[in-house]
């Protein structure tokens, strides 16, 4: 069954890309859960801690601790919701965005090395097929994007 092989190859490639990006995390002393929270804010925008807890499958107390540590390092800040001043949201700061960009840049450099022997046509076809797969996610995935 080819789907099993596709899953295995995608998992191995994803794992290595993730490990490459994590070298940047070690340089700035960030844990993977801290980084995951920051990435989620980067792509989904400001969220309250309850939604972060649900989206990241972490206990509210764990989210609270992560937010507190990231806030001390000025990677995130807490803000109020305009419509309900009692509600608090977590916002990624420009310093936090810079960290995300640094990790993405490391991952892109690694991908560039992996694809060094691909022709431009192969790169374009590869992207086309991955995009086609990604576009099917809403139809078949039970996980919400943000």
Question: Which two three-digit tokens encode residue 30?
Answer: 């960030």
In a domain, 145, yes or no: no
The mean per-residue pLDDT over the stretch 85-114 comes to: 93
Domain total of the chain = 1
Q: Is the pLDDT of residue 129 over 90?
A: yes
Which domain CATH number covers 59? 1.10.10.10
CB 48 within 8 A of CB 87: yes
Specify burial of residue 92 (Cβ count, 10 A radius: 0-12, 13-18, 19+). buried
Note the pLDDT of residue 82.
Answer: 77
Q: What is the pLDDT of residues 102-111, one digit of tens each?
A: 999 999 999 9
Cα gap 117→135, rounded to integer Å:
27
Cα gap 79→73, rounded to integer Å:
16
Q: What is the pLDDT of residues 13-69, one digit of tens each?
A: 999 999 998 888 888 999 999 999 999 999 999 999 999 999 999 999 999 999 999
In a domain, 132, yes or no: yes
In a domain, 146, yes or no: no
Full domain range(s) for residue 17? 2-140
Q: Is the pLDDT of residue 85 over 80?
A: no
Q: Is the pLDDT of residue 144 over 80?
A: no
Q: Is the pLDDT of residue 131 over 90?
A: yes
What is the model's pTM?
0.86
């Amino acid at each position: 069954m080819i789907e099993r092989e596709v899953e295995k190859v995608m998992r191995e490639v994803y794992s290595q890309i993730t490990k490459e990006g994590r070298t940047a995390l070690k340089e700035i002393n960030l844990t993977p859960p801290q980084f995951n929270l920051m990435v989620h804010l980067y792509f989904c925008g400001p969220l309250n801690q309850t939604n972060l807890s649900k989206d990241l499958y972490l206990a509210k107390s764990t989210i609270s601790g992560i937010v507190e540590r990231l806030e001390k390092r000025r990677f995130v800040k807490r803000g109020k919701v305009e419509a309900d001043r009692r509600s608090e949201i977590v916002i990624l700061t420009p310093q936090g965005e810079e960290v995300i960009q640094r990790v993405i840049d490391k991952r892109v450099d690694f991908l560039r090395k992996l694809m060094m022997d691909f022709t431009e046509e192969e790169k374009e076809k590869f992207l086309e097929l991955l995009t086609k797969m990604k576009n099917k996610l809403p139809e078949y995935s039970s996980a919400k994007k943000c």
